[in-house]
Amino acid sequence: MSNSLLVHTQDVRQFDFLRWSWEDGRAVAFITRQQRHFRCPTCHSGNVTSTKVDERTIQGLPLGRRQCHLHVTMHRIKCHDCGAFRMEPLPFISSDHARITRQLERSLVELRAEMSISAVAKYYGVDWKTVKSAEKRCLQRRYRTIPLKDVRTIGIDEIYVGHKKYKTIVRDLEHGQVLHVGDGKGGDALKGFWRRLSSSKATIRAVAMDMSSGYAAWVREKLPDAEIVFDHFHLIQLMNERVDKVRRRTVAALEEDESKALKKSDSSC
């Protein structure tokens, strides 16, 4: 493998290929950073001294039907400008603790749309947790910030997460995206969402919610032009409760025979 192949097959740049090793049917490429590309991880100065301290193995994209692993010579960088003394970062992995390259991670996520987690893991010879972690990182990057400018209808609801704690969820009802997750319930849980919404200049036309007075008060204060739509489940539940109260009062006022007949009737709407 030449330096050019490192770039074009694994997207590994600024490293030199040293040698091959073939271990248990795997291709292991030994690589090290090119001396002229050492930079301080803190201030990015080139006035540094590098010291070899360790070796690290990162799984890359397969070469044909063989797994390919990159055996990287790791260095500790001492900066003579800012005084930092840190381990060199690897630009071809997505996080400091990742054991696969960005290119392999991208392939896992792309194939994940067509295959189960276990099938993808088996195909590339990685642990299923590796596939799951790659998918999570992709979703976190993709949905870290969701633009609110074109949002028109939203739904607000709370979920119970245990230990007397709640989470408030705001969703875009047209596209199904989660726009906000706040701690607690009521207006206080929507403060962060309101900061983003007010700066986005979005025009909210309707807000769907349960019959919580806290959410309704927040919408009337912050979004006075939006229609409040109470969900049908809570409306029917409330109507059934009211009808049942009326039925009980009526039963109490009737004669015994008439009361028995009314009790047998279905009070649900």
Q: Which contacts of 235-244 are long-range, i.e. CB under 8 A and separated by 24 or more positions?
A: 235/211, 236/269, 238/211, 239/269, 240/267, 240/268, 240/269, 243/267, 243/269
pTM above 0.85, yes or no: no
User: Measuring CA to CA, how many Å separate 16 from each of 2, 13, 67, 103, 164?
Assistant: 8, 8, 20, 18, 56
Q: When comparing pLDDT for 248 and 161, which is higher?
A: 161
Q: Over the stretch 16-28, which tens digit does the pLDDT of each residue have?
A: 999 999 888 899 9
Residue that has been written with the tokens 């090119």 in this structure: 34
Provide the mean pLDDT of the chain.
Answer: 88
In the predicted structure, residue 158 carries a pLDDT above the cut 70: yes
Please state, in angstroms and rounded to a whole number, the distance separating the CA atoms of residues 103 and 55. Answer: 21
In the predicted structure, residue 259 carries a pLDDT above the cut 70: no
Task: Give whichever of 4-8, 184-188, 224-228, 233-237 has the largest mean pLDDT.
Answer: 224-228
